[in-house]
Amino acid sequence: MLNKKKNFLLVFAILAFVVWAFPGNVYASELSEIE
Protein backbone atom coordinates (compact mmCIF):
# COMPACT_ATOMS: atom_id res chain seq x y z
CA MET A 1 0.00 0.00 0.00
CA LEU A 2 2.71 2.46 1.01
CA ASN A 3 4.83 1.60 -2.04
CA LYS A 4 1.87 2.09 -4.36
CA LYS A 5 1.17 5.50 -2.88
CA LYS A 6 4.84 6.45 -3.27
CA ASN A 7 4.78 5.47 -6.94
CA PHE A 8 1.61 7.51 -7.48
CA LEU A 9 3.24 10.58 -5.95
CA LEU A 10 6.29 10.10 -8.16
CA VAL A 11 4.15 9.91 -11.31
CA PHE A 12 2.12 12.91 -10.16
CA ALA A 13 5.29 14.93 -9.55
CA ILE A 14 6.62 14.09 -13.02
CA LEU A 15 3.31 15.03 -14.67
CA ALA A 16 3.14 18.28 -12.70
CA PHE A 17 6.71 19.14 -13.73
CA VAL A 18 5.95 18.44 -17.42
CA VAL A 19 2.79 20.57 -17.31
CA TRP A 20 4.73 23.36 -15.58
CA ALA A 21 7.75 23.20 -17.91
CA PHE A 22 5.92 22.72 -21.22
CA PRO A 23 4.56 26.29 -21.65
CA GLY A 24 8.03 27.67 -20.97
CA ASN A 25 9.52 25.44 -23.67
CA VAL A 26 6.86 26.50 -26.16
CA TYR A 27 7.44 30.16 -25.32
CA ALA A 28 11.22 29.77 -25.76
CA SER A 29 10.84 28.03 -29.13
CA GLU A 30 8.46 30.76 -30.33
CA LEU A 31 11.02 33.41 -29.35
CA SER A 32 13.84 31.62 -31.14
CA GLU A 33 11.75 31.39 -34.32
CA ILE A 34 11.07 35.13 -34.25
CA GLU A 35 14.76 36.04 -33.94
Full pLDDT tens readout for the chain, 35 residues: 678 889 999 999 999 998 888 877 777 777 777 66
Task: Please tell me the pTM assigned to this model.
Answer: 0.51
Cα–Cα dist 18/32, whole Å: 21
- Give the pLDDT score at 1: 65
- Give the number of domains in the chain: 1
| Neighbour-count burial for 2-34, b at 16+ CB within 10 Å, e otherwise | eeeeeeeeeeeeeeeeeeeeeeeeeeeeeeeee
What range does the domain containing 19 cover?
A: 3-33
- Give the pLDDT score at 23: 77
- Give the pLDDT score at 28: 72
